[in-house]
Chains A and B, each alone.
Chain A
Amino acid sequence: RLFVDGKHPSCDSSFFGRREFSFTLENDIYLRYMSFRDASEFEATVCEKRPQKIDIGAVYSVDPAKRLAYANVSNDRVFAPVEKELVFDVDMTDYDDIRNCCSGADICLKCWPLMTIAIKVVDSTLREDFGFDHILWVYSGRRGVHCWVCDARARKLTNEQRASIADYFRVYKGNENNNRKVSLPTHLHPFLARTYSQFLSRYFDEEILIKQSLLHPQENADKVLKLLSGEGMSMQYMSSVYSELPVQLEEKKRNNTLLPDKINRQRWADLQRKLMQKRGIQRELVFTYTYPRLDLEVTKKMNHLLKAPFCIHPKTGRVCVPIDPADCDNFDPTTVPTLPEVLVFRLKHVNSSFSSVSSCSMI
């Protein structure tokens, strides 16, 4: 059983009643425009309907469940979204073209740093550039993270303003028909410059290069080279980077497992030397492999519904737990509690509530 404490410390007692929720039931039945008078009505309905997934939408001008009563007022949209948190969705599948360890719905500790970077960049920018303070980060349960900005100022943003914030963050422009993913001007906007020096280049050197083994073996390295091949640099020129790598036979003998790390570092250093004249390209490379890739459509519209925090992900059973952005380096998605674990915990420690747990059957 799960639910969000939707009580918002606002003077407006109708606020909760005008919030849209959606339930996804078994057999993929989808119920939209649900709303509840208060937390206990919400709890009762959840227990009754046992949704597999609960999404949170906007706060509307009237209770969503009663919207049809207003449907006759012509032309003007009496039923319209009034407030909604500013939200962001980062999904690991958007990084598939640069992940060497997993793809699709899988994640592991080698690619999770990409999410860490996303959290740090987006969080710091929302605070420093946009002045927001009340920011909640949540693990999405499987392969990404969600961000909820709850400041009053954020809740009142129009769709156009949300779109402008999403575009402010937008750097990556690749799609299936175009290899050239990142294209930056020579001189960066302070936000991008700060992002690069504070986060991207550090995480690239210390995490991504090594964990993704970007430059070793050859087939990984070739993927990187391919990105560079449009820049007036032939493949032969680029692969000459490797012939410069000194063969260190003693290393090989000493400790085999360290060798790939060393090779990656060495190659990256060589590559940087080669790209010296074209520093912009080196930077673009780092951006390509680290910069956050947001699902812009989620952010742009007020009426977009997003999974509620503390839900159980229907496919993994994991609880959508919050992530502390200040400590997100230590977040491990593989150890997030699952529903069975939570229930066992409750059984052990909260005996008196056992009956209420079992009356709302497992979701």
Chain B
Amino acid sequence: MAFRSIGAGGRAEDGGEDSRGGGAGAGKLSFYEAAPDEEISLEDFEEYALDRLRVLKEIEEARSRGKKMEEMDPLVSDLWRKHMGSDSSKKDVISHFILRLAYCRTEDLRRWFLGIESVLFRHRFRCEMPAAQQKLMDDCNLPYKAMTSAEIEAVKENLESVARSTNQVSNSKMYYKVPFEDVPELVSGRKVYLRRGEAFVPREQLSFLVVGQFRSRLSKALVLTNRKWISFIAGEEKDRLAPMVEALSTRYLGPDYTQPKSSNEIALQDLDQLAKASFPLCMRSLFFQLRDDHHLRHGGRQQLGLFLKLEDALAFWRAEFSRKVGVEKFDKEYAYNVRHNYGKEGKRTDYTPYSCVKLIMSTPGVGDHHGCPYRHFSEDKLRASLGGLGLNSRQVSSALEKTRSQHYQLACAEVFEAVHGCSSDGINHPNQYFEQSRALLQQPKVKQMCSFSFNDTVEFFSQEEPASGGENNNNDANEEKTTLMIS
């Protein structure tokens, strides 16, 4: 099938080798300006897309585990080689454009794709040779001016100051004058010197500039692709490509927490018990704060409210809040918000419960109790809370160590393991913690075992409640199994 008609996103086809990235060598990085002009089979169509999706998904996973920039660079290189091969220019470009189709259709999908492709681009860029980096910059006509040495000299002290404040060595001779709008990450982290709206970006941080450009171009292209897809393709390709393209985006998404599954809907009366047994620490502390104080500020209400997805949320919140502020005031000031969260007001969006990453990145302030406890609690407070969950001091220390090295989700997973006696599948979302916990605790008469990692032949097996009270030494056939049982 030919791409030409749908992929380009509005820019004139160059068709030239270089812009397609087919020129100089394996894995040549490009801005994907021009759609590929190739014919490929439908099988390849799917396979290329899935391989790229695997790369993107693993990148996301690594980021959620808090990997730093330097760790991500080699990781991305490896992933790329593994899934995309070493002579990958054609596959690179084609798979990118296929995924554009799949991920242009809604704003959420666009946002996700944009974010993760930008990360991929950033790390591939960082791994390129300086000459290739420079060429990429030049080729794509980035509009930034290099500063003259006189200009640099005039602000030398400030430039050095910034470098020192971010623990970087400032032996850069090259600086670029960039509007601050184009380097939001640098501005956010106070990693760059600003003057009258211009950021003075050193060569080492070039990748931010380039990635910023990549991002804004891709963002525009996605919107255009979407328009074309709707108006042109959906009719023609309805039976051939559309199902495959649509399946690609839903295939990635892990469990979808937008629609609560009915089996997981929580009944009001069970809440306290559930909170003690199965809530992750973030929701547990919010919940009991609410019980104690009969009040939560906005951030806390959002975080807990979206997590709970109660059948009768309004009754729950009203019961709690009315004890402090009275029913009338609740109805006036808070009820709207609760209904809004459930899509019954305003935009009518059924908001998705916040994922771990979102909680970790939130900014609780004075009077707030929300966020991720492993990130936002002081060590003392965290120690006390974990103690309250019944962890022994060794388990607490282990979790605290993870938080010190900023592996917040790993800390949460450790706590899950300590509380349930069984490890989790990794924690990316509070509702995921909750579901896994319920799944474990709701195994009625079956004692489950976690398999040992050092012995692959150990089977996962269940044990009936022994009539003789657990003594099995009268049966030779069972002996081997019993010695492996976790008591």
A binding-site residues for B, Cβ under 8 Å:
28, 30, 32, 74-77, 93-97, 128-132, 153, 157-158, 160-161, 163-165, 167-168, 170, 172-180, 185, 187-193, 230, 293, 296
Q: Mark B344-385, 1 if CB is under 8 A from A, else 0.
A: 001000000000000000011111110101001110010000
| Chain A min CB distance to B216 (Å) | 9
With A and B bound together, what is the CA distance between A32 and B336 in angstroms? Answer: 13
With A and B bound together, what is the CA distance between A130 and B187 in angstroms? Answer: 10
With A and B bound together, what is the CA distance between A185 and B168 in angstroms? Answer: 13
The answer to whether the Cβ of B223 comes within 8 Å of any Cβ in the partner chain is yes
Contact A75 B105 (CB under 8 A): yes
B187's partner among A32, A168, A173 (CB-CB below 8 A) is A168
The answer to whether the Cβ of B196 comes within 8 Å of any Cβ in the partner chain is yes
The answer to whether the Cβ of B197 comes within 8 Å of any Cβ in the partner chain is yes
Most central of A93, A164, A168, A176 by chain B CB within 10 Å? A176
Q: Tell me which residues across on chain B come within 8 A of A32, comparing CB atoms.
A: 346
Q: 18 interchain pairs (CB within 8 A)?
A: A28-B333, A74-B230, A76-B227, A129-B195, A131-B196, A153-B181, A163-B188, A164-B188, A167-B187, A170-B363, A174-B365, A175-B369, A176-B368, A178-B381, A185-B166, A192-B190, A193-B161, A296-B363
Contact A177 B376 (CB under 8 A): yes
Q: Tell me which residues across on chain A come within 8 A of B377, comparing CB atoms.
A: 177-178
With A and B bound together, what is the CA distance between A193 and B162 in angstroms? Answer: 11
Contact A153 B197, CB 8 Å, known A76-B223, A175-B364? yes
Contact B187 A293 (CB under 8 A): no
Q: Tell me which residues across on chain B come within 8 A of A178, comparing CB atoms.
A: 376-378, 381
Contact A189 B366 (CB under 8 A): no
With A and B bound together, what is the CA distance between A172 and B366 in angstroms? Answer: 9
Contact B188 A177 (CB under 8 A): no
Contact B376 A167 (CB under 8 A): no
Nearest residue, chain B, Cβ from A164:
B184
With A and B bound together, what is the CA distance between A293 and B364 in angstroms? Answer: 12
Summed over the interface, the residue pairs from A and B with CB atoms below 8 Å come to a total of 116
Contact A177 B226, CB 8 Å, known A130-B194, A193-B161? no
With A and B bound together, what is the CA distance between A153 and B346 in angstroms? Answer: 30
Contact B158 A190 (CB under 8 A): yes
Q: Tell me which residues across on chain A come within 8 A of B364, comparing CB atoms.
A: 175-177
The answer to whether the Cβ of B193 comes within 8 Å of any Cβ in the partner chain is yes
The answer to whether the Cβ of B198 comes within 8 Å of any Cβ in the partner chain is yes
With A and B bound together, what is the CA distance between A296 and B223 in angstroms? Answer: 29
Q: Tell me which residues across on chain B come within 8 A of A173, comparing CB atoms.
A: 363
| Chain A min CB distance to B160 (Å) | 10
Contact A168 B190 (CB under 8 A): yes
Contact A94 B365, CB 8 Å, known A177-B373, A177-B376? yes
| Chain A min CB distance to B423 (Å) | 27
Q: Tell me which residues across on chain B come within 8 A of A179, comparing CB atoms.
A: 378
Q: Tell me which residues across on chain B come within 8 A of A296, comparing CB atoms.
A: 363
Nearest residue, chain B, Cβ from A181:
B366
Contact B226 A76 (CB under 8 A): yes
Contact A168 B188 (CB under 8 A): yes
The answer to whether the Cβ of B323 comes within 8 Å of any Cβ in the partner chain is no
B197's partner among A131, A158, A174, A293 (CB-CB below 8 A) is A131
With A and B bound together, what is the CA distance between A190 and B190 in angstroms? Answer: 9
Contact A175 B190, CB 8 Å, known A75-B230, A76-B223, A77-B107? no
Q: Tell me which residues across on chain A come within 8 A of B393, comparing CB atoms.
A: none
| Chain B min CB distance to A154 (Å) | 10
With A and B bound together, what is the CA distance between A177 and B297 in angstroms? Answer: 14
Contact B376 A75 (CB under 8 A): no
With A and B bound together, what is the CA distance between A248 and B198 in angstroms? Answer: 55
The answer to whether the Cβ of B332 comes within 8 Å of any Cβ in the partner chain is yes
Most central of A175, A193, A293 by chain B CB within 10 Å? A175
Q: Tell me which residues across on chain A come within 8 A of B194, comparing CB atoms.
A: 129-130, 168, 191
With A and B bound together, what is the CA distance between A187 and B166 in angstroms? Answer: 8
Q: Tell me which residues across on chain B come within 8 A of A160, comparing CB atoms.
A: 184
Contact B162 A189 (CB under 8 A): yes
The answer to whether the Cβ of B106 comes within 8 Å of any Cβ in the partner chain is yes
Q: Tell me which residues across on chain B come within 8 A of A180, comparing CB atoms.
A: 378
Q: Mark B151-164, 1 if CB is under 8 A from A, else 0.
A: 00000001001101
